[in-house]
Amino acid sequence: MNRAGDNLEDGVLLAVVTTQKEKVYGGGVPIFLAKDKKEMESISLLMSRLFKAMAHDLENGVWVIYRQ
């Protein structure tokens, strides 16, 4: 269960969403390419709700979906 803040367990990175694929390297999690900022936001919103996770903005055009 999500128990953010209580126990200091590690969270898990579920996905990366970006408009600039050259900024993301390597694998492990799926990388979703969005055509613009708007799509990036909507994909992130949907995924954060679907995965019960949180969308974090790295402020460089890359978003990560992370579950605590």
Shortest separation between residue 25's beta carbon and other proteins, angstroms? 21
Shortest separation between residue 23's beta carbon and other proteins, angstroms? 16
Among the listed residues 57, 32, 55, the one whose alpha carbon sits nearest the alpha carbon of residue 65: 55
Burial of 54 (0-12, 13-18, 19+ CB in 10 A): middle
Shortest separation between residue 66's beta carbon and other proteins, angstroms? 9
Of 29, 33, 41, 61, the one binding other proteins by CB under 8 A: 41
Of 29, 31, 33, 56, the one binding other proteins by CB under 8 A: 56
Under rule CB under 8 A, residue 53 binds other proteins: yes
Among the listed residues 66, 62, 48, the one whose alpha carbon sits nearest the alpha carbon of residue 19: 62
